[in-house]
Structure 1
Amino acid sequence: MKWFSVLMLGLSSLVAQSESALAIKNYAAKISAAHAALEHDRTQTMLDWLATSDPERRAFEYDWLSVQAQQDESSVLIAKTPLQDLSFHPNQDILAIAHGNGDISIHKASTGEQIRSWSAHPPLTYHARFSPNGQFLLSSGRDHMAKIWDWQTGTLIRSYEGHDQAVPSAVWSPAGDLIASCSYRRLEEPPFIQAEIHLWSAETGTRTLTLTFGTHPIADLAWGADGKLAAASWEEKVGVWEAPDPKPKYVFNTRKKGYAAMNAITFSPDGKLLAAGGKDCSVTVWNMQDGSEHKRFEGHGGWVQNLAFDPYGQKLASASIDQTIRIWSFSEPAVTLHGPPGAVGGVAFSPQGRLASVAANGALSYWNMDFIRTLNPIQTQEPPYGLVYHPHGIYAVVTLADGQVLFWDPEAKRFFAKLKVPDWVNAPAFTANGRWLLLPAGDGVIHVVDAYCGLPKKDLAFHQDGIPSFAVWPKGGYWASVGRDNQLAVWSPDVLEADGDSKPLFSRKPEDIRYTGVTFHPSEPILVVANNRPGVEFIDLASHETIRQFQVQSSISDLLFSADGKLLLTSSSNDPLIYAWDESGKLVRTYRGHSEGVTSLTLSPDGKRLVSGGPDFNLIFWDLTSGQELMFQKEDFHIYRAAFHPDGNRMMVGVLQPQFRILDARPVEIQIRTMTEANGLDEGAATLLRLRRTNDPDPIKIVEGMLGDRFLSPKMRDAAYKRLIAETLMGSQP
């Protein structure tokens, strides 16, 4: 964790307020002790230190630590060896844990307190699962056996010894009268291995049926509420049977990309959905009524080890060797939980919906689902190439690698409309007044869209290749584009009203250098273009002439001005440093914190904070004036884009994966903003629908009339804009 720098930032701000140095040191010591306790997973100790801190001095660092205490309610180190799996009793405050040394332990579920333990399957117990009535415990292990136990005493009731090799999984039938266990037989001839599932009587241990499934080991089994039996195989497939039929009803090929051996499988409580995950780091869900693929979840950075549905079948938890748990939903963004160090071996929901997990470091962790504070990725079909908020903050635009343009409602936290352009858009932007959305695309065309209804306005075709860099002058209507054809084009807003071919105000195409980026001075009519010399060139917008230029340290991947225009900030994909230059080309300061190149720079609306990201997965907030690191957030993927909401309190972060994230970006805190669905429409949307019934051919006139007459409040107007965009793009008729 690198949050300690965040805590120290808060303390330094207290010093600046000229408070008592002794009192500050006392508060700092207690906050530091609480943070140290958190680092060592001593939640109660952390709460004790927080309770003794001075209430008058509590600020964001106190709030942040308090939230962590609520997220991870407790983490108990119960063994010095890895923990494999866990199971909640169906109706008692009890859970069972399978140990990596062959033991089974029984615990009080509410506290984690151990009641008893015994040696079950030396050298390794894979699973321990309660019977449907809670009377017995079923386990399987590397000793080639599955066993039934009286969990209240640890007494062995029955052993099943019908397998020749390790038994990775054994499960109860819904009625509890049958047990299915899996293993494999070695053959003397190719393919040398035969995977088998044995069905046997829980009462007598007598085998009743043998199912064969491929030539690779079966890793896990699941038995659904309607009697279907499912197996996850290392042969990159999943099988589903309706016993006693020995032929599978469904066989799903799980190979999508890379090695897709399956490790874990589970049914939803009603048996209608089946989920499997494995070595391709993904989770796939199938509909058991017709065998169709229902959903595919991606995001883990390592193998999926275990799966569990919540009691209501609405959420699916996955445990991974990447040391995280992900909570997947079919209607909401996913949530990532970071537990104690070590691969997460097992995850389970209690009958009441409480989440618990066990890990390779021997820790049992409980999670409070009501207080989770973590990054919530919003899933998209393709990686987000561009992110931008409307200047008024009423919505955001997310552009994807395949040319999709998605409209995101930051209040309802959902997409409400979309459109499509022919190719990727790397740098979407709004004109300074928010009237037009500019989409410089991979086809070399700037697609201009009405920002209030989503209707296309004009296509500006000038570049011969894609447009990776684009900028808008915040003081006026000018914008500039740099294409892969090495042309720089500067555009005037008058081009939108011109008839015929649309040409830029002026353009350049140098022969001896290559342009790599562009930005505007925040207040003066000056354009700055980066080149591969490496250097920057200052161009006067009035005369179209170069007024000065200077060289920089590394080839520039991103550049921007400070809010006062006194500093030019540059970053490079080949250099971990960020450089701040004055207008003469003198290096003023560097920002040191990244371990690899920096591909994204973003300035907060108040101009005080700089945010940077890159392939080292680090998102860093800087104090622009001092160069001090304010906040640090470790992401899971290469950070490609970031955009502040105009209020400066929120930001979107895009990574090179099909998802983006929303951060609470207030100056002294990174929290997580919970994703919720909006309910219903407000009066503004209803008013707009009534006005649109006039059949006015230009709906924007209606909106402008509302603004001019002050007919709608800002909140109602914002809702009206979003509703109008959605309806226009969907082609609905009011």
Structure 2
Amino acid sequence: MTAELAESQIQIKLVTKQQSHAVPDVPLSVPTNIDTKNLNKLVNELLKENVAVFLKAIEFDFLVLGELLRVPLLEHLQEKNASTEATIEVEYVERTPAPQPEDALLHDDWVAAIEVADKWILTGCYDNTVNIWTTKGKHQAIGNNHSNCIRSVSWLRKGDPSGGFVSCSHDLSAILWHWEPGTTEVHPKIILKGHERGIDTVSVSPNSARLVSGGWDTNLKIWSASLEQEDDEPPNKKSKGLTVRTPVHTLKGHKETISGSKWMDNSTVATSSMDHTIKVWDVELCGIKTEIVGQKAFLSLSWSPLTNTILASSADRHIRMYDPRSSEGSVCKTTYTSHTLWVSAVCWSNYDEHLFMSGGYDQCVKLWDTRCPKAPLYDLQGHQGKVLCVDWTSDKYLVSGGSDNSVNIFKNTHQQTLVR
């Protein structure tokens, strides 16, 4: 950059929604090549002058034209084709701190499924077992009623392990389990039978009344999630000593494996598939409401009720954010690129509308801000093999599992400034 350009000035106005960090929003002249480091110095100097009690310097991120600043200001404005003549509004927000590594939980085989509730971590493994661990790393309980690898698990009541859990497997079945938190035994209660090939995904409705499953037979099946035997289930119909439950409905529409499923509300489910589509289903009317067509196989998806958007990961190394209700332009709103191999798993934060995590075959787990599509906030190190699953159901922990037989736990240190 030339000396003349480095010395040129631009007018900015610093604004924030975090009132405790507010400084006078008057226009300021700064060098055109100012970056986040020097903007941080500037804001902290202004805070010293204007805040009665200034305890320590605060790290901020800066939003310009809706995107986090990651390059010098002038370069950012040029990328956005924005004028440098007008006063530029620069919004500053307290920076999300890096999650801190807590523990690694070693399994006997690949870990393909994971979900946290309270202080308990539920995992599903390629050695055909489901496992419950404490977030402190203690192995609590194991269930081995499946006869093939576990591909997906979910607590039946979000955040409440006392409600039991469900697991699904390539043995063509799903099992509903009862567990008393703190005890060392899990008890299989109901076996779900109806799929003709392996099951890859299971998801429980927000009201815990129903669940859906999908997999290699391309069918989405809807089931009762009750742990109790129901009136239409004959008491003498047993498999492996368990009551057999059949699906309430079977929804056809996908042409290849269903790789992911998430309830959007108690009557709407989104599914991702290897057939390059995401489908949104009305499970009351048993039909497709919306279809999103991609260019590559979709490997996972996550739904955010905070933004009403879907994140989906693909075999082309990209993560995309979709607004299924969009009537203007493309339903694909943003593409996030940093992984170097297939992105196997994505999961929204459930308390901050901008944050999500991802895991890929490149051994990387990444923490993202939706306002920074070109680079993650942080790479979370630790896996020595493909990352197969990630979960951020708990506000406190980010967890991931992979082909290195381990689950990595990261403590979330983010000060939750956004109220759920």
Number of the residue aligned with 1:58: 57
Q: Distance in 1 between matches of 2:58 and 2:151?
A: 38
Return closer, same or farther for 1:408/1:497 CA change in 2, 3 Å cut-off: same
- Alignment-mate amino acid for residue 423 of structure 1: N
Return closer, same or farther for 1:384/1:521 CA change in 2, 3 Å cut-off: closer
Q: Distance in 2 between matches of 1:665 and 1:490?
A: 34
Consecutive unaligned residues of structure 2, counting only runs of 5 or more, are 1-13, 42-52, 61-99, 235-243
Contact 1:534 1:552 in 2 (8 A): yes
Contact 2:114 2:122 in 1 (8 A): yes
Number of the residue aligned with 2:110: 383
Number of the residue aligned with 1:644: 392
SS in 1 for 2:150: coil
* Structure 1 position 464, deviation (Å): 2.4
- Alignment-mate amino acid for residue 587 of structure 1: C
Number of the residue aligned with 1:517: 259
Contact 2:178 2:227 in 1 (8 A): no
If asked which structure has higher relative contact order (CA below 8 Å, sep 6+), I would say 2
* Structure 1 position 495, deviation (Å): 8.0
What aligned pairs does 1:652-671 form with structure 2 within 5 A after superposition?
Answer: 652-667=399-414
- Alignment-mate amino acid for residue 348 of structure 2: L
Contact 2:315 2:341 in 1 (8 A): yes
* Structure 1 position 467, deviation (Å): 0.9
Match of 1:620 among 347, 358, 366: 366
SS in 2 for 1:403: coil
SS in 1 for 2:55: helix
Match of 1:566 among 308, 331, 352: 308
* Structure 1 position 668, deviation (Å): 7.5
SS in 1 for 2:338: coil
Percent identity between the aligned chains? 14
Number of the residue aligned with 1:341: none
CA-to-partner distance for each residue in 1:579-633, whole Å, 9 max, x for gaps?
Answer: 3333246121112222222111011221421101102222221223664732222
Number of the residue aligned with 1:633: 380
- Alignment-mate amino acid for residue 112 of structure 2: Y
Match of 1:444 among 149, 160, 172: 172
Q: Distance in 1 between matches of 2:313 and 2:256?
A: 17
Q: How many residues align?
A: 321
- Alignment-mate amino acid for residue 651 of structure 1: L
Return closer, same or farther for 1:476/1:466 CA change in 2, 3 Å cut-off: same
What aligned pairs does 1:501-512 form with structure 2 within 5 A after superposition?
Answer: 501-510=244-253
Contact 2:281 2:287 in 1 (8 A): yes
Number of the residue aligned with 2:211: 479
- Alignment-mate amino acid for residue 265 of structure 2: S
* Structure 1 position 509, deviation (Å): 4.2
Contact 1:437 1:448 in 2 (8 A): yes
- Alignment-mate amino acid for residue 526 of structure 1: T
Number of the residue aligned with 1:413: 137
Number of the residue aligned with 1:596: 341
* Structure 1 position 60, deviation (Å): 6.8
Return closer, same or farther for 1:542/1:15 CA change in 2, 3 Å cut-off: closer
Q: Distance in 1 between matches of 2:356 and 2:35?
A: 31
Consecutive unaligned residues of structure 1, counting only runs of 5 or more, are 1-10, 33-53, 62-372, 670-734
Q: Distance in 2 between matches of 1:666 and 1:566?
A: 25
Contact 1:427 1:468 in 2 (8 A): yes
What aligned pairs does 1:709-720 form with structure 2 within 5 A after superposition?
Answer: none
Q: CA RMSD in A?
A: 3.5
Are 1:429 and 2:128 an aligned pair? no
Number of the residue aligned with 2:124: 399
- Alignment-mate amino acid for residue 173 of structure 2: V
Contact 2:311 2:319 in 1 (8 A): no
Return closer, same or farther for 1:508/1:525 CA change in 2, 3 Å cut-off: closer
Q: Which has the higher strand share?
A: 2
From the CA coordinates, give the structure whose radius of gyration is larger: 1
TM-score by length of 2: 0.67
CA-to-partner distance for each residue in 1:417-444, whole Å, 9 max, x for gaps?
Answer: 2221322211110113641210111211
CA-to-partner distance for each residue in 1:470-496, whole Å, 9 max, x for gaps?
Answer: 212223422111122222211123584
Contact 2:359 2:400 in 1 (8 A): no
Q: Distance in 2 between matches of 1:614 and 1:666?
A: 23
What aligned pairs does 1:515-594 form with structure 2 within 5 A after superposition?
Answer: 515-523=257-265, 525-564=267-306, 566-584=308-326, 586-594=331-339
Q: Which has the higher helix share?
A: 1
CA-to-partner distance for each residue in 1:234-263, whole Å, 9 max, x for gaps?
Answer: xxxxxxxxxxxxxxxxxxxxxxxxxxxxxx
